[in-house]
Amino acid sequence: MAEDDAQPDPERAIELLWGTPEPERPGLSLGRIVAAAVEVADAEGLAALSMRKVAERFGTTTMSLYRYVPGKAELVELMRDAVYGRFPMGPSGGLGWRAGLERWARRAWEIHRSHPWLVHSGGTRRLPGPNIMAGYDHALDVASRTGLAPAQVIAVVNLVGGFVESVARQAGETAELQRRTGVSHERWWSERESLFERLDGYPALERLWRGGGMDTPVDPFEFGLQRTLDGVQALIDNQEREVIRDETGGECVTCGKPLDGGGRGRPRDYCSRACQQRAYRRRQAGS
């Protein structure tokens, strides 16, 4: 198995991540090895990282590193946790759920921008260390302020974190291509005239292009983050409406008139037959 394809020994990785930190002393140490590996990955990408390149930074042999870490797979686990430790969250104070999650997402975005290789180090079986878990626990605490059910709180945090990782992956791929080719993303696309000449048969695209839709693209992180949080807010609002309707009868979904909660059976959505018919006609008109 190639070094890049190797999976970490989970128990050994957990021991390295969560064990008692070794005291700093002159010469080679686990902490210095991890720091050097991060420098290599930052400069050349995760695929270029090897135990040999790390050893060269210390002027020593690869075998000398194995006294501290079994191999690259375990080293990457340590690197991931180390870079998260460089961006501690700190207390969230009196922030509400939205401001708190936005702050957490921006911190994660900053980490990924500083270390683009992170998106290539993840996976469903990557082992979190204490720094990663501290950030995740912080986000769970903030998201709990939504009042959502426990499973939904976890899903919200995973949703926001997944959004950040997705945008970071796209940005990282663009930056890596620019680094390898020396050609910027904008320049590469500006030189694709032979493609643009073939796009006049797509009316929606042409209409938006002529309307200036591509002149000043929206920032994908800023736009996506706010729309993601808007979705969480919509979930909260919907559940609050359900509670109100169960307790008080709620409001007519057509005209907004308060509904009495005194009936039996299924909660009503409309204050009258007329409102129900208006809603039906609207649905038919939109179908």
The b-or-e profile of 188-219 (16+ CB within 10 A means b, else e) is eeeeeeeeeeeeeeeeeeeeeeeeeeeeeeee
Strand partners, 251: 258
List the one residue out of 85, 77, 99, 196 whose CA is nearest residue 145: 99
Assigned token pair, 253: 């979904």
Cα–Cα dist 51/71, whole Å? 7
List the one residue out of 65, 130, 139, 72 whose CA is nearest residue 105: 139
Cα–Cα dist 60/71, whole Å? 16
Cα–Cα dist 63/40, whole Å? 18
**Residue 202: C-alpha distances to residues 137, 189, 193, 210 (Å):** 47, 18, 16, 12
Residues of the chain with pLDDT under 50: 1-2, 287
**Torsion angle, alpha carbons of 95, 96, 97, 103, to 10:** -30
Cα–Cα dist 61/180, whole Å? 29
List the one residue out of 163, 279, 283, 136 whose CA is nearest residue 223: 163
List the one residue out of 19, 33, 164 whose CA is nearest residue 87: 164
The pLDDT value given to residue 2: 46
The pLDDT value given to residue 103: 95
Cα–Cα dist 261/242, whole Å? 12
**Torsion angle, alpha carbons of 119, 121, 123, 127, to 10:** -130
**Torsion angle, alpha carbons of 222, 224, 229, 232, to 10:** 180
Cα–Cα dist 52/72, whole Å? 10
Q: pTM, whole model, 2 decimals?
A: 0.78
The pLDDT value given to residue 98: 96
